[in-house]
């Protein structure tokens, strides 16, 4: 299961032209209940300075994939 999650996150990263680690960190932060605005402002070091639009794109992609699963 962890391998399929890694593959999914890598696919999302490639599709959004982001680094896989940025997507992983963003998903972790979102899963911990942090808002997009909070992550954008206060967790820049964890996401590699992703902006709000990029974080929302990650959120949307992950949500869509989780709905399918």
Can you list the domains of the chain with their CATH numbers? 2-68 (1.10.10.650)
Please state the rounded mean pLDDT for residues 26-32.
97
Q: Evaluate if residue 54 carries a pLDDT over 80.
A: yes
Across 27-41, average pLDDT? 97
Burial group, residue 41, by CB count within 10 angstroms (0-12, 13-18, 19+): exposed
Closest CA to 51 of 34, 26, 15: 26
Confidence band of 2 (pLDDT split at 50, 70, 90): low
Q: Tell me, what's the pLDDT at 1?
A: 43
| Cα 55 from Cα 65, distance rounded (Å) | 16
Q: Does the pLDDT value for residue 39 go beyond 80?
A: yes
The pLDDT assigned to 5 comes to: 74
Kindly report the average pLDDT of the chain as a whole number: 93
């Amino acid at each position: 299961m962890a391998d399929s999650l890694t593959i999914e996150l890598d696919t999302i990263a490639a599709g959004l032209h982001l680094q896989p680690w940025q997507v992983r960190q963003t998903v972790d932060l979102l899963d911990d209940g942090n808002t997009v605005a909070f992550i954008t402002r206060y967790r820049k070091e964890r996401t590699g300075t992703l902006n709000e639009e990029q974080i929302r794109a990650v959120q949307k992609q992950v949500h869509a994939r989780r709905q399918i699963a």
